């Protein structure tokens, strides 16, 4: 079933929408969850919570890119679960490793409540990503949004792991320079 048909089912409040979403996107959502969470039960909980959030949100939202919409919701839910689980101790998940890599580019200002600044930063990062060649953008997004491993990215693009690491390192340096020029420190 096409995405616009699934979205229409949500708009009609037809419960088949959830079934069709699960049928089409379950593997995709599990891939996202698996990169952040290490427990299958948590992954299933995140998937179900995603379907519920989509069910509750779509009558007011009409996403242009349904898969990206689902990915964003799933990722937020997984991050919330991850934060709850690691509030007292830090683990060695791929998500944690990818965040540590980005710390050199974007440091925490100490004021996480400043949502307007975060939205501006998000827009600026999007503008930066638009300047990258498609391969480098793919690598960056799959590493830092989907929290994929270096091995997974290298295999999907038929590159060496070292090549992916070098591209990520150079991209982080470029992003840091870009953000400094935009007024971030």
Give residue limits of the domains in the chain. Answer: 3-85, 94-181
| CA–CA distance, 31 with 23 (Å, rounded to integer) | 14
Return the SS3 of 29: helix
> How many residues belong to the chain?
185
Give tens-digit pLDDT for 7-49: 999 999 999 999 999 999 999 999 889 888 878 999 999 999 9
What was the pLDDT predicted at 16? 94
Return the SS3 of 61: coil
Dump the DSSP string for 109-136. -S-TT-HHHHHHHHHHHHHHHHTS-HHH
CATH classification code of 3-85: 1.10.1740.10
- Phi/psi region, residue 62 (left: phi>0; alpha: psi -120 to 50; beta: rest), is beta
User: What's the pLDDT band for 112 if we cut at 50, 70, 90?
Assistant: very low
Query: Which CATH superfamily groups domain 94-181?
Result: PhyR, sigma-like (SL) domain (1.20.140.160)
Give tens-digit pLDDT for 48-70: 999 999 998 886 777 888 888 89
Q: 17 is written with which tokens?
A: 């929408």
Return the SS3 of 54: helix
- Phi/psi region, residue 160 (left: phi>0; alpha: psi -120 to 50; beta: rest), is beta
């Amino acid at each position: 079933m096409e995405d616009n048909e699934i979205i229409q089912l949500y708009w009609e409040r037809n419960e088949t929408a959830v079934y069709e979403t699960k049928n089409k996107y379950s593997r995709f959502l599990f891939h996202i969850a698996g990169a952040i969470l290490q427990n299958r039960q948590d992954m299933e909980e995140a998937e179900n919570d995603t379907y519920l959030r989509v069910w509750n949100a779509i009558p007011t939202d009409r996403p242009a890119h349904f898969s990206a919409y689902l990915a964003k919701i799933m990722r937020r839910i997984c991050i919330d679960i991850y934060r709850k689980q690691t509030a007292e101790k830090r683990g060695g998940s791929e998500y944690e490793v990818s965040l540590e890599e980005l710390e050199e580019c974007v440091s925490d200002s100490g004021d996480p409540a400043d949502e307007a600044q975060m939205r501006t930063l998000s827009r600026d990062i999007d503008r930066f990503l638009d300047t990258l060649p498609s391969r480098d953008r793919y690598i960056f997004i799959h590493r830092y949004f989907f929290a994929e491993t270096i091995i997974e990215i290298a295999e999907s693009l038929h590159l060496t792991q070292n090549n992916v690491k070098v591209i990520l390192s150079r991209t982080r340096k470029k992003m840091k320079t870009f953000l400094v020029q935009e007024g971030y420190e």
